[in-house]
């Protein structure tokens, strides 16, 4: 499994046999005070410093697990382009309802009887956004953990924002109570790894990560998981079909985008509870696809999106810019032709 993952671009590193923690450093590195990137073991092909040593080099992987097949497999999420939603099912006291979904007030009339784990809060978040429950997403790799939790693997957008790790119990950055995020700066246990508590077993469905859903991208942006500032707007690209795009074709695209912009504009009537991030993300993604198909230029789409979004949320320019750029870039890979036109 380690070699299979490495050959597919997922940097791997050994875990201590029977555990889900990285294999220990060599004796010198345990006492030396140096940054992982300065570790002399790296040049010698060692695995010191956990996920910092993760590699996709086949020879190194064969050597690490060829001499000892017992270590488990860790995958460095950042270099692999992964965002893994880690759903916990720990027996812990349920916090106040206002801490279940950070930033989203839960009305007292909502019956929370039976809520007791990350499965419940992630389902609640998905229902609040009118989105499919990730725990039931058979289009992506899902792994059952020995503790009864679940790892839901997703692939981040290639040119999109990078996200940081978080704990569902954090009071600062969290997606939902008992829902952790494994991304840049962290690692995830690979399926088939065996610990003393049990095996990380892949569930029925896809065996590879699917693209991170747009609504989850928006939620991670909203909850402060980004590790970088919004990218500067890219230079406008020449529409692929501009030279042969008839006027009616352009109007079709403008009509589709206008309806989505109206949804974003309507969010200005209320400061919360309008799914603003999700609506803007959907509009930006669609605009990127329409621009790629030649219905209008990306610059025109960006200008319209920013203008409408900043009217609805006038004090959130950085957040808006990030959502717009992420959506445009993701959508540009999937040209959209309204009415099924080629």
Give me the tens of pLDDT residue by residue for the chain, a chain 342 residues long.
899 999 999 999 999 999 999 988 888 888 877 888 888 887 787 888 888 889 999 999 999 998 777 899 999 999 999 999 999 998 888 888 889 999 888 888 888 888 999 999 999 999 988 899 999 999 999 999 999 999 999 999 877 788 999 998 887 899 999 999 999 999 999 999 999 999 999 999 999 999 999 889 888 988 889 886 444 444 444 444 443 445 555 677 888 899 999 999 999 888 777 878 888 888 988 998 898 888 888 888 999 999 999 999 888 887 788 888 878 877 787 788 876 443
**Nearest 5 degrees, angle CA 44-CA 45-CA 51?**
130
C-beta separation of 240 from 288 below 8 A: no
- Read off the tokens for 193: 């790894």
Residue with tokens 């569930």: 203
Give bridge partners of residue 201 from the DSSP assignment. Answer: 144
Residues 6+ apart with CB under 8 A from 26: 41, 46, 48
What residue ranges do the domains of the chain occupy? 2-76, 81-222, 242-340
Task: Name the residue among 285, 246, 278 with its Cα closest to residue 263.
Answer: 278
- Whole-number Å distance between alpha carbons of 13 and 50: 7
- Whole-number Å distance between alpha carbons of 271 and 254: 27
C-beta separation of 78 from 184 below 8 A: yes
Overall pTM surpassing 0.85 (yes/no):
no
- Whole-number Å distance between alpha carbons of 276 and 216: 13
How does strand 150-155 pair with strand 210-211?
Answer: parallel
Q: What are phi and psi of 251, to 5 degrees?
A: -65, -35
- Read off the tokens for 201: 């077993």
What CATH number was assigned to the domain covering residues 81-222? Answer: 3.30.2250
Task: Name the residue among 184, 297, 159 with its Cα closest to residue 236.
Answer: 297
Name the 3-class secondary structure at 292.
helix
**Nearest 5 degrees, angle CA 192-CA 196-CA 197?**
80
Q: Give 240's Cβ-side CA count (13 Å radius).
A: 13
């Amino acid at each position: 499994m380690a070699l299979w993952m490495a050959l597919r671009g997922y940097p791997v590193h050994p875990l201590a046999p029977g555990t889900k923690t990285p294999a220990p450093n060599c004796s010198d590195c345990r006492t030396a005070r140096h940054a992982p990137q300065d570790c002399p073991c790296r040049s010698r092909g060692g695995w010191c410093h956990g996920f910092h040593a993760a590699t996709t080099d086949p020879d190194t992987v064969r050597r690490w697990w060829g001499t000892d097949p017992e270590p488990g497999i860790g995958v460095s999420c950042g270099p692999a382009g992964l965002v893994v939603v880690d759903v916990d099912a720990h027996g812990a006291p349920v916090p106040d309802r206002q801490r279940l979904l950070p930033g989203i007030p839960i009305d007292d009339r909502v019956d929370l009887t039976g809520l007791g784990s990350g499965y419940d809060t992630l389902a609640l978040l998905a229902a609040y956004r009118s989105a499919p429950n990730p725990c039931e997403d058979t289009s992506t790799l899902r792994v059952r953990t020995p503790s009864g939790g679940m790892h839901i693997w997703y692939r981040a957008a290639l040119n999109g924002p990078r996200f940081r790790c978080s704990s569902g119990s954090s009071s600062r950055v969290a997606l939902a109570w008992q829902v952790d995020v494994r991304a840049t700066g962290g690692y995830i246990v690979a399926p088939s790894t065996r610990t003393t508590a049990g095996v990380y077993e892949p569930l029925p469905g896809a065996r590879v990560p699917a693209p991170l859903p747009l609504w989850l991208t928006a939620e991670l942006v909203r909850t402060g998981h980004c590790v970088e500032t919004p990218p500067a707007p890219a230079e406008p690209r020449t529409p692929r079909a501009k030279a042969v795009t008839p006027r009616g074709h352009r109007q079709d695209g403008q009509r589709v985008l206008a309806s989505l912009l109206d949804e974003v504009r309507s969010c200005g009537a209320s400061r919360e509870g309008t799914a603003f991030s999700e609506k803007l993300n959907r509009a930006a993604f669609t605009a990127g696809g329409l621009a790629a198909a030649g219905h209008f230029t990306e610059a025109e789409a960006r200008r319209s999106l920013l203008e409408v979004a900043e009217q609805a949320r006038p004090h959130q320019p950085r957040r808006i810019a990030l959502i717009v750029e992420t959506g445009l870039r993701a959508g540009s890979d999937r040209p959209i032709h309204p009415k099924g036109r080629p």
